[in-house]
Amino acid sequence: MKKSILTLLWMLAATVGAMAGNVLSIVEMDAEKEQKGGSSHVWVHFPTGADSPTRRAVIYFIFHSMHFYLEADMEYPPLTCDEQTFRSFLDDYTEALCQVYSTDQQEYAAECAASGEVYDVPWYRNISLLKVAETDHYVSYACYDGEFCGGAHDNRGSIATTIRKSDGVALDDIFIEDADDSDQLQAILWKYLIATEETDQKEFAERIGDFLEANYGNRERLHLPGDSMYLAPDGVHLLYAPLEICFWDMGEIEVVIPYDAAKPYLTPEAARLANAASAGR
């Protein structure tokens, strides 16, 4: 009986520790490889410590993002892999990423040469997988991607996730379905979008409207950025890539909507996590 009680107490302590006060420890890693004409660089906040549902969920997001950007025939380590195993994989992944881009560029250069053109543009492919927010109840990660293979400008994008610490489950949605159809949420989106501009907010809003009209046929309607959102202590973060809601020269835009404003449009689970974090429970 004594052993059973101690076991139950240990299980209770482990559960409480997973739900509150358990900071996800990370180690910063990076790998850089060079091939003819360019390079690839990958940065990762790799979770360390004991195996847990949260740690495995974070590693799954890292691997899922890496596979999205390189659909090569690679063997990924298990979700329980240690730091040394992942570091070795990261080195191999970055090498493969670099090789793919180098081969593509050399083939394109050969095609240009056959038609009498010269193609000699330094290329790069960079990926950052970072822990961007954490409370006692959740941890958020984001993947930022950038590439340049010639042309007028580079390409940039991002994906993000928020993972519940109690069971390691990633939120499927942060906002309720069709939330951006609401006129009230549209007003909120515009308010905090314009607040990101520190100089001429009137011109900024006009240019956003011009882009929306040219690309979506309506200069007043904004959309939520799909899988590029996450929870943080200061509110919901929306990550917009260039050419998503704005012209290229306006860059990437990160909009933060405070929870008081976003609350009516959050899913029940997103609202619960936000309330628990703000209450310090």
The string of pLDDT tens digits covering residues 33-79 is 998 788 999 999 999 989 999 999 999 999 999 998 887 778 999 99
pLDDT of residue 6: 35
pLDDT of residue 20: 43
- 94-125 residue pLDDT tens: 999 888 878 777 777 777 788 888 777 788 88
Is pTM beyond 0.75? Reply is: yes
pLDDT band at 280 (very low <50, low <70, confident <90, very high): low
Average pLDDT rounded to a whole number, residues 87-99 = 93
- 221-258 residue pLDDT tens: 999 998 999 999 999 999 999 999 999 999 999 999 99
Residue 18 has pLDDT above 60, yes or no: no
Least confident of 118-122, 207-211, 218-222: 118-122
- 20-30 residue pLDDT tens: 458 999 999 99
Residues in CB range of 242: below 8 A, 6 or more apart: 153, 156, 248, 250, 251, 252
Residue 7 has pLDDT above 60, yes or no: no
Residue 3 has pLDDT above 60, yes or no: no
Residue 137 has pLDDT above 80, yes or no: yes
φ, ψ for residue 217, nearest 5 deg: 80, 10
- 157-193 residue pLDDT tens: 999 999 999 999 999 999 999 999 999 999 999 999 9
- The encoded tokens of residue 263 equal 């609350």
pLDDT of residue 229: 97
- 266-279 residue pLDDT tens: 999 999 999 886 66
pLDDT of residue 162: 98
